[in-house]
Amino acid sequence: MNTTSTKETRQSLGQNEDAGGGTEDVAAAVTGEITEKGAASSLPAAPPPPVVVATEPTKRTRPRFGQPRTRLALPQRAGFQRRWINDDPNRISFAMECGWTHVKAGNKNVKTGVGSDSAGGSLIAYAMEIPQELFDEDQRAKQVTNDEIDAAIMQSAHRAQQGDGRYAPIDQATQQPLTQMNVTQGKPL
């Protein structure tokens, strides 16, 4: 035993080097042995080992037949948006040009059958993901386009006449065409 640990042990026992307790007392206190002088008798007894209680294994629940289920659910990954993208002609390659990448399981792309294509063959959907920053950028650009369309609709709404075939939003209270409307995220305020 080195001197540093002996001093620390003596301090924890309330002893100092001048107290007359020799190294045998310290060693006995550390190892828990009781010597003739009873040096270790002042130490508290070691706690009993923890009792391990055996529990029954949890019963695995099975789905009920006919119960709604999310067949195409994808586990989300932090910092990414995931989607299933159908393998229509050129759709996967275009998605990859836009920044989407395949979700992999080992070395294979995650895919599932989702129906039939126009030729009667299998329609396959691939799990793909895109970084959240790129997804948000695309959504903002899409919203700008939607806002422009809404503004064009509202601009022509004040000229709409009953039965002229143009779309004009109607105020439900007055049953009159709306002439001005604030649109946020495609919903009237």
For 11-58, the pLDDT digits (tens) are 554 544 444 444 444 444 444 444 444 444 455 666 777 776 666 667
Dihedral angle computed from the Cα positions of residues 76, 81, 87 and 88, in that order, rounded to the nearest 10 degrees: 140
Closest listed residue to residue 125, CA positions, set 150, 95, 164, 165: 95
Confidence bin at 185 (pLDDT 50/70/90): very low
Residue 105 makes CB contacts below 8 A (sequence gap 6+) with: none
Per-residue confidence at 132, pLDDT binned at 50, 70, 90? very high
Q: Report how far apart the first and last C-alpha atoms of the chain are (Å, whole number).
A: 78
- pTM recorded for the entire structure: 0.49
pLDDT tens figures, 151-166: 887 776 556 666 677 6
Tell me the CA distances in angstroms from 185 to 131, 132, 139, 145, one per residue in order: 22, 19, 11, 11
pLDDT of residue 24: 47
- Contact between residue 74 and residue 84 where contact means Cβ atoms under 8 Å apart: yes
At residue 150 the predicted structure's pLDDT band, cuts being 50, 70 and 90, is confident
Instruction: Give CA–CA dist 47/188, Å, rounded.
Output: 68
Question: What average pLDDT does this structure show over 162-175?
Answer: 70
Compute, in degrees rounded to 10, the torsion defined by CA atoms 8, 13, 19, 20.
-90
Tell me which amino acid residue 155 is.
Answer: Q
List the chain domain ranges. 3-42, 80-131, 135-160+169-188
CB-hemisphere CA count at 13 Å for 90?
Answer: 0
pLDDT of residue 44: 61
Q: How confident is the model at residue 182 (pLDDT cuts 50, 70, 90)?
A: very low
